[in-house]
Amino acid sequence: MARPIIKWVGGKRQLLEELLENLPKKYNRYFEPFIGGGALFFEIEPTGGVINDFNEELINVYQVVKDHPYELIEDLKKHKNERDYYYQIRALDRSPEFHKLSNIQKASRFIYLNKTAYNGLYRVNKKGQFNVPFGRYKNPCIVDEEAILQASKLLQKTTILCGDFENIKELVKPGDFVYLDPPYVPLSATSSFTAYTHQGFDEKMQHRLKQFCDYLDSIGAYFMLSNSYTKFVLDLYKEYTILTVQANRALNCKADGRGKINEVMVKNYKE
């Protein structure tokens, strides 16, 4: 069985049951244009699926897992879960030599940082330099050989794209299914859209995404979309079926109350 190889903020592992219950009963190809850690993708293990993300380093990991799993595993074995070593590896993207690393070395660095950084966070500064502190985990699983080999098998049957979610537009046909898990609309009215993510997924982008969903609907494709439970989202998707589900708070939320929060799942089909 395949499983995610990267921990990702906003990962959908905790909502898997609800997502699986709400898939269309039958569909042709599977598409996931905001793949992140790919919790649903790895659970479904589709044949002939298409995945995409804006994050080049993340997509490089999937490409390397697909094409060079054994070399990647070998390279991962060199890493150490030690503070000084961590900061040395973290600093690589601050040096002009960074572009000289091979794609395998870049993927290995990304996985290492993901397993040992504080809370498994991915965060870069304005210059695109990784800036999460050391996580001080006792025994992180840096080389998950089995997960990489299983993922590699699945990725052999998958098309991997890198860029904006509309990348998949030309490929989606009637009867296909698209699961969309974008950066969420911020919960609080005081936090601005643009501050929410360095990719700048602002209000305009959320509208463009809605138009994309309308396009999918118009050609007879199925779509399901996750987002936050906010008036903005409820209004935007009011002509579709909207379900409310409960999720744990995101890792990077200021946690005064630890409890659950509502999220929505929007779909353009009944069952």
Ligand X SMILES: C[S@@+](CC[C@H](N)C(=O)[O-])C[C@H]1O[C@@H](n2cnc3c(N)ncnc32)[C@H](O)[C@@H]1O
Contact residues for ligand X, defined by CB under 6 A: 8, 10-12, 33-34, 36-39, 53-55, 164-165, 181-183, 199, 201
Toward ligand X, which CB reaches closer, 33 or 69?
A: 33
- The burial class, CB within 10 Å (0-12 / 13-18 / 19+), for 161 is middle
In the bound complex, what is the minimum distance in angstroms from residue 168's beta carbon to ligand X? 9
In the bound complex, what is the minimum distance in angstroms from residue 184's beta carbon to ligand X? 7
Determine the length of the chain: 271
In the bound complex, what is the minimum distance in angstroms from residue 84's beta carbon to ligand X? 29
In the bound complex, what is the minimum distance in angstroms from residue 150's beta carbon to ligand X? 17
Toward ligand X, which CB reaches closer, 33 or 49?
A: 33
**Residue number, nearest CB to ligand X:** 36
Which is it for strands 177-180 and 30-32: parallel, antiparallel or unpaired? parallel
Toward ligand X, which CB reaches closer, 196 or 269?
A: 196
Toward ligand X, which CB reaches closer, 40 or 72?
A: 40
Long-range contacts formed by 19-23: CB under 8 A, 24+ apart: 19/179, 19/224, 19/226, 19/265, 20/44, 22/224, 22/243, 22/265, 22/267, 23/177, 23/224
Toward ligand X, which CB reaches closer, 221 or 225?
A: 225
Toward ligand X, which CB reaches closer, 135 or 182?
A: 182
Toward ligand X, which CB reaches closer, 76 or 162?
A: 162
- The burial class, CB within 10 Å (0-12 / 13-18 / 19+), for 73 is middle
In the bound complex, what is the minimum distance in angstroms from residue 255's beta carbon to ligand X? 18
CA-nearest of 158, 118, 155 to 140 is: 118
In the bound complex, what is the minimum distance in angstroms from residue 236's beta carbon to ligand X? 17
What's phi and psi for 261, nearest 5 deg? Answer: -125, 155
In the bound complex, what is the minimum distance in angstroms from residue 262's beta carbon to ligand X? 16
